[in-house]
């Protein structure tokens, strides 16, 4: 694993909290939550130390679709 992945994951979590997500849990994974306009609770799980360099990029793509926001500039 590349050492920078865990730092990048932490930056993603900080960016998500600035965009309204709540950090619900953070043991081995970050678990974030967001309530959508219809009152449904969205959950997103992000590994603290992803083993693959693509996982962070894939997570950002999923989050963009969920939140309707571009996190690339926020990270």
In a domain? residue 74: no
For residue 3, pLDDT beyond 70: no
Total domains, the chain: 1
What is the distance between the alpha carbons of residues 6 and 35, in angstroms, rounded to a whole number? 26
pLDDT tens sequence across 18-71: 888 999 999 889 999 988 788 888 888 988 887 777 888 888 888 777 666 555
Q: Could you tell me how far CA 4 lies from the centroid of its own chain?
A: 16
Q: How far apart are CA 71 and CA 75, in angstroms?
A: 6
Taking the C-alpha atoms of residue 3 and residue 11, their distance in angstroms, rounded to an integer, is 14
Is 26 inside a domain boundary? yes
Whether residue 72 is contained in a domain is answered as no
**Residue 30 in domain:** yes
In-domain check, residue 41: yes
For residue 55, the enclosing domain spans: 4-67
Q: Is residue 62 part of a domain?
A: yes
Kind and range of the H or E run holding 10: helix 4-18
Query: Model's pTM, two decimal places?
Result: 0.71
């Amino acid at each position: 694993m590349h050492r920078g992945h865990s730092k990048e994951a932490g930056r993603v979590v900080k960016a998500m909290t600035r965009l309204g997500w709540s950090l619900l849990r953070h043991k081995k994974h970050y678990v974030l939550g967001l309530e959508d306009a219809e009152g449904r609770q969205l959950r997103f799980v992000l590994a603290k130390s992803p083993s693959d360099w693509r996982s962070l990029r894939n997570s950002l793509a999923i989050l963009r679709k969920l939140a309707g926001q571009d996190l690339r500039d926020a990270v």
